[in-house]
Structure 1
Amino acid sequence: MSNMVTNVVARSTLLSALEEKRRHQMKKYLLHRLFFVAMLREERCHAEITAYHEQLFQKISKFHLGEPASGVLLIYSQCVLHILEASSGTLYHILMDLAAFESQGPVALLQDIKILVVSHNIPTRLFSQWYATTVEVPVTLEDVTQSQTTEEVITECLSLILKLGIYLATLKVGNKGLSDCLHTAVPELLIPAETIGYLCRAKECLSPGEFLKMYNSPLQPNMDSEM
């Protein structure tokens, strides 16, 4: 009798599905990812903006034990791009702190803050820790945002950010920050400063205050139509 070779095909069973569901239920918290941009009050206040975020994370960690925030803060000469991964409670406190800048007017450290997108219940972290670094991106003469919609610009930016996160995952980065300069290692993955300025002026993007107002608004369904 000839030997029969049986191909083993991996199949999902009901037991594995129930175990996966239980693992999700046993999580301490769901993980979310926040993308936002902002203009700086003045050029080159890099040390001030880095110190502010470090103090904010230390303050939040006292109230949310075991829920560390990860992400990356890219500090340009006149603007910033920040990606944060944390629980909903941590992100809510950060958004409230960002909304407080709006009431400070021209003296606020961050100006024209805009929320690009919030990704809910992400399966894994893109960043292993929180990084903060300055980047130097040359000014481009061609403004590509003129021929694109705000949605297309945001989509392109998110694609670059995700690729940047994958690149950072391959680096051996210590607690003191990035081991090399991103603007020399991977300049093609950095969003131009002109694009960030465009997004800070985009009416389609919500400010932290507008986002929180929508987040805190109760749902009021029409009970007659039940929609």
Structure 2
Amino acid sequence: MASDRADSVLESHRTSLLELIEDRNKALNKKNLLHRMVYIASLRNEDADSDQIANYHENLKKNLESAQQYSEHVSITGLLLVYTKHIVHIVETTTEMLREVIKDSKKNMESSNGIFSQVKILVVSHDIPERLYQNWMFKTLEIQSARLDSYDSSESTDKIVLDCLIQLLKLGNHVAKIPKGNFKNSFDQLHSKVPDLLPQQAMLHFLLEEDDCSMMTVKEYLNMYEQPYDVVLDSELVWPLPTRLFPYN
């Protein structure tokens, strides 16, 4: 009798969180989960042409989308801010495409002819409900910073990162509310209309130079996917090995 009850427990189906998420996505006609990544980088050449940098990222976007048999579910949207010595890139797409973007950034950084000298990931937000940006766009900010090493803050690094992300989210909300008929003029005047929503270049320099665990390097991010996950459990260090009476123990 007891064995029958144990068998019924083992055979009974329990709905998992993954199944709930998949059912929700099917109801929304959503084939892939949507993720958002924000990363910053310093430019190797301070005299680099901003249009060339934008074209590089736009070509990368087109190549990745064509390789994935482009559809709205795997498209890349976001915003690229090009400063005189740094960039901020917000990318919204699938996790596979995010990984390809970071792979390209790592390859670019390690190349002697690359445009990046350093890249750091500020955040990766998983399973976001909707896109903040409906298209991919870029903005050149001709903002000169007198002294990049002049940034001084009593706040912790993770608080500075959080403040930067809040700025960018507010910037995305602002851009989303711009009327289509006046979009180009308003978008071109972001630095004069909403300067408080644009991260300071000195702050970007500070974050790139700071060695803090609140930010992730491209190597650390890729290692999570490319290196085998090997963990020694405490139970494996005990002898004799514990006896498992039931599969779910």
Counterpart in 2 of 1:222? Answer: 232
| Offset at residue 21 of structure 1 (A) | 6.1
Counterpart in 2 of 1:4? Answer: none
CA distance in 2, matches of 1:122, 1:53: 23
SS of the residue aligned with 1:77? coil
CA distance in 1, matches of 2:186, 2:44: 25
SS of the residue aligned with 1:146? coil
Counterpart in 2 of 1:42? Answer: 45
Structure 1 pair 179–223 and aligned structure 2 pair: CA distance change class (3 A): closer
| Offset at residue 150 of structure 1 (A) | 1.3
* Residues 79-133 of structure 1: per-residue CA shift (max 9 Å, x gap): 100000000111111111011023214x320111111111111111111111101
**190-199 or 204-213: bigger deviation:** 204-213
**140-149 or 108-117: bigger deviation:** 140-149
Question: Which one has a bigger Cα radius of gyration?
Answer: 2
**What is the TM-score when the length of structure 1 is the normalising length?**
0.82
| Offset at residue 210 of structure 1 (A) | 2.4
Counterpart in 1 of 2:206? Answer: 198
CA distance in 1, matches of 2:59, 2:174: 27
CA distance in 2, matches of 1:187, 1:85: 23
CA distance in 2, matches of 1:120, 1:200: 23
CA distance in 2, matches of 1:19, 1:217: 29
Q: Is the 8 A contact 1:173 1:179 kept in 2?
A: no
CA distance in 2, matches of 1:30, 1:225: 35
Structure 1 pair 19–208 and aligned structure 2 pair: CA distance change class (3 A): closer
CA distance in 1, matches of 2:211, 2:20: 44
**216-225 or 206-215: bigger deviation:** 216-225
Structure 1 pair 173–135 and aligned structure 2 pair: CA distance change class (3 A): farther
Task: With a CA cutoff of 8 Å and minimum separation of 6, indicate the structure with the bigger relative contact order.
Answer: 1
What is the correspondence of 1:130-209 to structure 2 with a 5 Å cutoff? Answer: 130-137=136-143, 139=145, 143=150, 145-173=152-180, 179-204=187-212, 205-209=215-219
Structure 1 pair 177–80 and aligned structure 2 pair: CA distance change class (3 A): farther
Residue identity matched to 1:197: H
Q: Is the 8 A contact 1:133 1:178 kept in 2?
A: no
Structure 1 pair 179–153 and aligned structure 2 pair: CA distance change class (3 A): closer
Structure 1 pair 53–176 and aligned structure 2 pair: CA distance change class (3 A): farther
Does structure 1 residue 124 correspond to structure 2 residue 127?
no
Percent identity, aligned pairs only, is 32
Residue identity matched to 2:116: L
Residue identity matched to 1:130: W
SS of the residue aligned with 1:34? strand
CA distance in 1, matches of 2:225, 2:20: 32
Unaligned runs of 5+ in 2: 1-18, 237-249
SS of the residue aligned with 2:122? strand
Q: How many residues align?
A: 208
Structure 1 pair 177–218 and aligned structure 2 pair: CA distance change class (3 A): farther
CA distance in 2, matches of 1:173, 1:180: 13
What is the correspondence of 1:64-79 to structure 2 with a 5 Å cutoff? Answer: 64=68, 65-66=70-71, 67-79=74-86
Residue identity matched to 2:122: L
Structure 1 pair 59–20 and aligned structure 2 pair: CA distance change class (3 A): closer
Counterpart in 2 of 1:83? Answer: 90
